[in-house]
Structure 1
């Protein structure tokens, strides 16, 4: 049985969030970034299953036939001032080592594309580190086009209510 025959992609459920948080930590380590917060599963639960309807964030998981979650993709709508429209920002797409190149990535991308269409959005944007040549080849094969920009992040001190 091939990986794609034994894998399927579905929206994340509350019980999946510890696995998604674990994959996010692996993803951060893979991309040489700081680890996510220790309470990531709780934070995701608020974003995905809180009171906002429809939820702003979507998370899809790649699950093997044995129930093991080996990958995820997350996305949310954003606005482009230059284009004067909305698009879907794919924040993360990650597959655990050993599950890449088996057809699961395109399944996750298809779920993200379906989410964009369901929201009435005609475009998806995302980023990947310039050193991640495997991801770049994958996205190029999908027909995606890269743009040259640097992403900045400015941490702000925000007091909780």
Structure 2
């Protein structure tokens, strides 16, 4: 997560208790979390005047009105996922193992100007995406040694 001020505090440095609806900053100031509102059911914590004389203000915010945090509905789940990503060696190993092939597949998918949708409507674009993915998968299988012998498809086990 990026801090509001370079080198400052991130939302992970702030204690957010969504169950009790309170937020505590690193300086120990506690404010209430608003009720969910808007289309996305976001909640806000506004520190306002508490930031005026705070000794940690320079590390927390540049806003004249003080720090305002926006908490989204899945905050607890996202915070737990960030914690797992930072501390779980098994998760990190899986991420290192699977990220390069996924990034490569996405790069293949958007290659040659395919970053933009070609058609109007979800059905045509969904068909196009599935066709493109199928063509890329077929190309990958051919590169791995897929052959058609005596009416049957075979994949060379030495190349997989």
Greater relative contact order structure (CA < 8 Å, 6+ sep): 1
Bigger fraction of residues in helix: 2
More strand by share: 1
Shared fold, TM over 0.5: no
Normalised to the residue count of structure 1, the TM-score between the two structures is: 0.22
